[in-house]
Amino acid sequence: MDDKRRLDPPAGWKSTVFEIAKWVLTIALLLPLRNANVGPIDVWRVALGILCFVIFGGKLLYDIIIADILQRKRQSAAKDAITLIGMVLVATLVVGMLLVFSGWLFIKLVQQSRTGQ
């Protein structure tokens, strides 16, 4: 038996670590939102966090749904249409939630600036 056996890490471990690091960075940038109702927050940090969320979320959506659809063989036009409608609805829901949240955050920031906090 060879005692110098080496355990090689799985092939995709670097990409997994990179994905985890991206989402940890995004969550860290969005952490000031926990105290948004208590006092002023760092708007630029939150804006950068929202930007990272949109970019990384879009890439994740592409990797999971769209790239899979492009690589597999087309089975039926109806199935492709239903998948497309589902993707559009999910993307619309996510963008709508971001717009509502951004509007709520903007209103809170304006109220804070008027009260002088």
Question: In the prediction, which pLDDT does 4 show?
Answer: 54
Give the long-range contacts of residues 30-39, CB within 8 A, separation 24 or more. 33/105, 36/105, 36/108, 37/108, 39/112, 39/117
Q: What does the angle CA 44 – CA 49 – CA 52 come to, to the nearest 5 degrees?
A: 125
pLDDT in tens, 4-52: 555 555 667 788 888 889 999 999 998 888 887 777 778 888 889 888 8
Return the pLDDT at 28: 92
> For the whole model, what pTM was predicted?
0.54
Which strand (E) or helix (H) includes residue 68?
helix 67-71
**Number of Cα atoms under 13 Å in the Cβ half of residue 106:** 6
Cα 31 from Cα 46, distance rounded (Å): 8
Question: Distance (Å, rounded) from C-alpha 80 to C-alpha 92?
Answer: 18
What whole-number percentage of the chain has pLDDT above 70? 83
Q: What pLDDT band is residue 74 in, cutting at 50, 70 and 90? A: low
